[in-house]
Amino acid sequence: MKAAVYYETGSPDVFRYEDVPDPEAGPGEILVDVAAVSIEGGDTLNRLGGELAGKPHIVGYQAAGTVAAVGAGVEQFAAGDRVVTVGLHGSHAEKRVVPASFAWAVPDALDLEQAACIPVAFGTAHDCLFEFGRLQPGETALIQAGAGGVGVAAIQMAKQAGARVLATASSDERLERLKELGLDEGINYATSDFVAECRRLTDGKGADVIVDSVGGATLQSSLAALAYRGRCVTVGNAGRTVGGQLDVSGLGMNNQTLTGYFLGAELFFAPRAHAMVAQLIDDVAAGRLRVVIDRTFPLADAAAAHAFIESRQAFGRVLLVP
Position 241 scores a pLDDT of: 58
Position 151 scores a pLDDT of: 97
Position 221 scores a pLDDT of: 95
**What residue ranges define each of the domains in the chain, with the CATH number in brackets?**
2-117+291-321 (3.90.180.10), 122-264 (3.40.50.720)
Give the phi and the psi of residue 164 in degrees, each rounded to 5: -85, 130
* DSSP character at residue 57: B
Instruction: Name residues of the chain where pLDDT drops below 50.
Output: none
Position 236 scores a pLDDT of: 78
Peptide bond just before 23 cis, omega within 30 deg: no
Beta carbons within 10 angstroms of residue 72's beta carbon:
9
Position 244 scores a pLDDT of: 66
User: What is the pTM assigned to this prediction?
Assistant: 0.95
Position 238 scores a pLDDT of: 60
Q: Which long-range contacts (CB under 8 A, 24 or more apart) does 283-290 make?
A: 284/110, 284/114, 284/115, 284/118, 284/122, 285/106, 285/107, 285/109, 285/110, 286/109, 288/160, 289/122, 289/153, 289/156, 289/157, 290/152, 290/156, 290/181
- Rounded to whole angstroms, the Cα distance separating 303 from 13 reads 6
The candidate with the shortest Cα–Cα distance to 304, out of 288, 319, 287, is 319
